[in-house]
C-alpha cells in the first residue's frame, strides 16, 4: 500500500513541477517573449473568456471595460504600457518537481503552450524562470526573486505580475513579502496555502535523507537546477501541517500587492459550496456545472486528499479546494492538478470536459489587465 501511494505521489507531483521551455531562458532562468499581434476571434462557448478576463490577454482595457457583457471583445492591442504603470510583465512560477529542460529533451514546457499562446495575443513580456525542483519555498522564493529582479532590469518595468501554479504560488508569496515594491499582484492556481495531507503522510515514510542523496546524485542530468542544497524532504516538511503554519506566519501578505487564488476540482465533483465566491469573474463562474474525471495518475494521492472512502473533500487530486484559498478567492476550474497546466503534454482534460488551459490563462491575464495590472 505504501509503495503504491509513494509511486502515485511521485508521478502525480510531476504535475506540480516546472518544465520551462529551453528557449525561454536568459541568465537567471528567464526569457522575454517575442512580439506578435495575432488575436483569436472571440467565442461564446464555456471555454471562452468573458467580462473580466476576455481571453484577449494583450488587452490594455480599463476596469470599466471589465463590466461589459459576457463574451464581449476587448481591445487586442499589445501590452506594452510604460515602465511606471501597467500592464506589467507576466512571470509564470512553476511548482514542485520542476525542470527547465528535462533530460535535454528541449520540448517539455511546464505551462504547456501557454507562453506561446500569450505571445500570439500580443503579450510582449512573459517569463518562465526555473528554480530548484525540490526544495522549500524560502529557498525557491529567493531564486525566483533573483529572476524577477532580472526581469525588472531587462524590461525597465516597475513591477511584475506573478502567476504561480502549485508550490509556485508559495514561491511567489515569498517574493511579494520580501519585495512588495516590485510585485503588482500574486495569482495562485491550486497552491497548497494551507498544506497537504499527502505531505504529512509522506513524512511518516522512513528514508528521507537517502532520497535526498539519490536526488542530488542522479537528478542533475534531468533537472539542471539541482545542487547540493536540493532537498525533497524540505519540500514535504513545508507542506506539512506544522510546516505550512510556520510558513504562513513568516511570509505574510504585503500591503499594496493584489492577492487572488483559484482552485481546481476533479473526480466529478461540482463542490458548489466550497467553490462559491462573490468575487468570481464570469470566466470561472461559467464552469459551475462542468465536471472533470480524475486522471488515474492521481488515484493513490486523491484517496488521501479526499479524506477516505466515506469522505468526499473536493480537490484536484493533490490540493484540496479549501487549502488553495488565499487572498481574494475567485472560484474553481474543472481540472485536476496537471490539467491545470495542460499536461500530460496537452492531452486534454478527459471525458466530455471541454476545459481549455490555454483559454484559462488568457482569462487570468485578461483579468489582471482589466484591473490595470
pLDDT tens string 250-301: 999 999 999 999 999 998 889 999 999 999 999 999 999 999 888 887 777 7
Q: What is the pLDDT of residue 328?
A: 98
Q: Are 94 and 15 in contact (CB under 8 A)?
A: no
CA atoms of 73 and 210, how far apart (whole Å): 55
Q: What is the pLDDT of residue 78?
A: 39
Q: What is the mean pLDDT of each run of 10 residues along the chain (373 residues)?
A: 37 36 34 33 42 42 29 35 77 76 53 91 92 87 97 97 96 98 98 87 59 39 45 74 93 98 93 96 93 82 76 89 98 93 67 88 97 96
Enclosing H/E stretch for 167: helix 167-178
Structural domain including 218 reads 2-370
String of b and e for 229-261 (b: at least 16 CB within 10 Å)? ebbbbbbbbbbbeebbeebbeebebbeebbbbb
Residues 212-232 have pLDDT tens digits of: 434 433 333 334 444 455 556
Q: What is the pLDDT of residue 58?
A: 43
Q: Please report, for the domain that includes residue 339, its CATH number.
A: 3.40.50.1820
Q: What is the pLDDT of residue 26?
A: 32
CA atoms of 212 and 231, how far apart (whole Å): 5
CA atoms of 151 and 159, how far apart (whole Å): 9
CA atoms of 269 and 312, how far apart (whole Å): 9
Joined together, the cell numbers standing for residue 154 give 531587462
Report strand pairing: 183-189 vs 160-165. Answer: parallel
The set of catalytic residues is: 166, 316, 337
String of b and e for 194-217 (b: at least 16 CB within 10 Å)? bbbbbbbbbbeeeeeeebbeebbe
CA atoms of 55 and 39, how far apart (whole Å): 9
- Domains in the chain, number: 1
Joined together, the cell numbers standing for residue 17 give 513541477
Q: Which residue has the cell 487570468?
A: 364
CA atoms of 272 and 269, how far apart (whole Å): 9
Enclosing H/E stretch for 258: strand 258-265
Joined together, the cell numbers standing for residue 232 give 525533497
Give the torsion sign (CA, 58, 169, 4, 212).
Answer: positive
Q: What is the pLDDT of residue 27?
A: 32
Q: 3-state DSSP call for residue 262?
A: strand
Q: What is the pLDDT of residue 55?
A: 39
CA atoms of 115 and 24, how far apart (whole Å): 9
Amino acid at each position: 500500500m505504501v509503495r503504491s501511494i509513494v509511486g502515485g505521489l511521485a508521478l502525480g507531483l510531476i504535475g506540480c513541477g516546472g518544465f520551462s521551455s529551453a528557449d525561454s531562458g536568459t541568465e537567471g532562468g528567464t526569457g522575454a517573449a517575442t512580439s506578435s499581434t495575432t488575436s483569436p476571434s472571440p467565442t461564446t462557448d464555456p471555454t471562452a473568456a468573458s467580462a473580466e478576463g476576455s481571453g484577449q490577454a494583450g488587452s490594455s482595457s480599463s476596469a470599466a471595460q471589465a463590466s461589459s457583457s459576457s463574451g464581449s471583445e476587448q481591445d487586442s492591442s499589445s501590452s506594452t504600457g510604460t515602465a511606471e504603470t501597467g500592464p506589467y510583465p507576466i512571470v509564470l512560477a512553476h511548482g514542485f518537481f520542476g525542470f527547465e529542460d528535462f533530460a535535454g529533451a528541449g520540448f517539455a514546457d511546464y505551462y504547456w503552450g501557454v507562453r506561446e499562446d500569450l505571445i500570439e495575443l500580443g503579450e510582449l513580456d512573459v517569463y518562465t524562470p526555473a528554480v530548484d525542483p525540490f526544495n522549500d519555498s524560502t529557498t525557491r522564493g529567493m531564486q525566483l526573486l533573483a529572476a524577477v529582479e532580472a526581469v525588472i532590469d531587462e524590461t525597465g518595468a516597475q513591477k511584475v505580475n506573478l502567476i504561480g501554479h502549485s508550490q509556485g504560488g508559495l514561491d511567489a508569496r515569498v517574493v511579494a513579502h520580501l519585495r512588495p515594491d516590485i510585485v503588482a499582484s500574486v495569482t495562485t492556481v491550486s497552491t497548497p496555502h494551507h498544506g497537504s495531507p499527502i505531505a504529512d503522510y509522506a513524512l511518516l515514510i522512513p528514508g528521507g535523507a537517502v532520497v535526498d542523496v539519490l536526488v542530488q546524485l542522479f537528478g542533475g542530468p534531468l533537472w539542471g537546477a539541482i545542487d547540493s542544497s536540493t532537498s525533497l524532504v524540505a519540500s514535504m516538511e513545508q507542506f506539512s501541517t506544522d510546516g505550512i503554519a510556520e510558513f504562513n506566519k513568516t511570509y505574510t501578505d504585503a500591503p499594496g500587492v493584489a492577492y487572488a487564488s483559484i482552485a481546481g476540482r476533479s473526480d466529478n465533483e461540482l463542490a458548489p459550496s466550497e467553490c462559491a465566491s462573490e468575487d468570481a469573474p464570469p470566466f470561472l463562474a461559467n464552469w459551475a456545472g462542468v465536471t472533470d474525471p480524475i486522471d488515474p495518475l492521481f488515484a493513490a494521492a486523491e484517496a488521501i486528499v479526499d479524506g477516505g472512502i466515506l469522505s468526499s473533500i473536493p480537490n484536484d487530486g493533490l490540493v484540496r479546494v479549501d487549502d488553495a484559498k488565499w487572498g481574494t478567492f475567485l472560484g474553481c476550474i474543472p481540472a485536476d492538478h496537471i490539467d491545470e497546466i495542460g499536461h500530460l503534454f496537452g492531452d486534454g482534460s478527459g471525458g466530455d470536459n471541454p476545459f481549455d488551459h490555454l483559454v484559462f490563462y488568457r482569462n487570468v491575464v485578461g483579468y489582471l489587465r482589466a484591473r490595470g495590472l
